[in-house]
Amino acid sequence: ALTHQGEGTRRQGFAVSHNTLEQGISGLGMAFRISGHGMASLSINGWTHRMGPTQLQHARDLIESELRGLGLL
């Protein structure tokens, strides 16, 4: 199951979790390369009732925009 999740995350370019690590918490994370020598990630988490599909899409767009602006994507 974990391998399948990793493949989906790689294909989408981001990961979303709902109530996975903590009940009532959802989040979105995106990995990126640093200078071709390493990897890092950035994530945003919040209360599940405030992190619906629209808010998650907005968070994804913001993270992606900032990382592109910094030349990291």
pLDDT confidence of residue 6 = 64
Q: How far apart are alpha carbons 65 and 69 in whole angstroms?
A: 6
Per-residue pLDDT band at 65 (split at 50, 70, 90) = very high
Model pLDDT for residues 4-53, shown as the tens digit of each residue: 666 766 777 788 888 887 899 998 888 888 877 788 888 889 999 998 88
- Residue range 50-68: mean pLDDT, rounded: 89
Global pTM reads: 0.70
Q: Which distant-in-sequence residues (6+ apart) come within 8 Å of 35 by Cβ?
A: none
pLDDT confidence of residue 2 = 54
User: How far is the CA of 3 from the CAs of 8, 36, 46, 58, 66, in angstroms?
Assistant: 9, 24, 26, 27, 28
